[in-house]
Amino acid sequence: MLYLFKPLPANDRDFSNWKPFIKNVWFRRHFMKFVYSLQIVLIIIATMMGVWNFANWIIKGSVFILVFIVHELLHISVVYKIGDISLTHSGIFFWLNSNAVMSKKRFWLFMTLPLLVLTIIPMFFLPLTDGFAFELLRYILCVNAIIAGSDIINSILIAVKPSNAKFCGGYYIDSRNT
């Protein structure tokens, strides 16, 4: 079930044997500072490439909203059959929470699918386009890369976890030890 701007129902799972996804307390506390820094770097790169100059603000705003919606729907598509999902926000930042237990591959797919579909794959088509299509595609992939700032960092963190790890609610467990 999808919960919009509501917390997930209480989870009765025992997390006593699970480890925090981000073990280092300092890094966990400052995680969003790393995300904001990455987003600022991506915005600067996009600005240097002239990405923001391709159209008027109505088109840019509409495309931004559409990219955001597709980005979130791609996340949801990975989890919707195996657990509940909650879309929450703080200020202008939105994120998804799920109570689904995911394998490492599925959790990595959950984190990277929007990045793959809306940024990496379009990069390969960029040299094949020109004119407005080129500018639009470049805008889409840059906007999504910025939106996916935390997904990029989380994907790296997922990659260094044990291959048979299970993930749920900000925790992971090595399934060999269960």
Neighbours of 52 (CB within 10 A): 14
Q: Using one digit for the tens of pLDDT, what is the confidence trace for 21-72?
A: 999 999 999 999 999 999 999 999 999 999 998 888 999 999 999 999 999 9
Q: Percent of the chain at pLDDT above 70?
A: 99
pLDDT at 95: 82
pLDDT at 178: 55
Output the pTM of the full model: 0.89
* CB-based contact 112:124 (threshold 8 Å): no
Measured distance CA(177)–CA(16) in Å, rounded:
13
CA 1 from chain center: how many Å?
A: 19
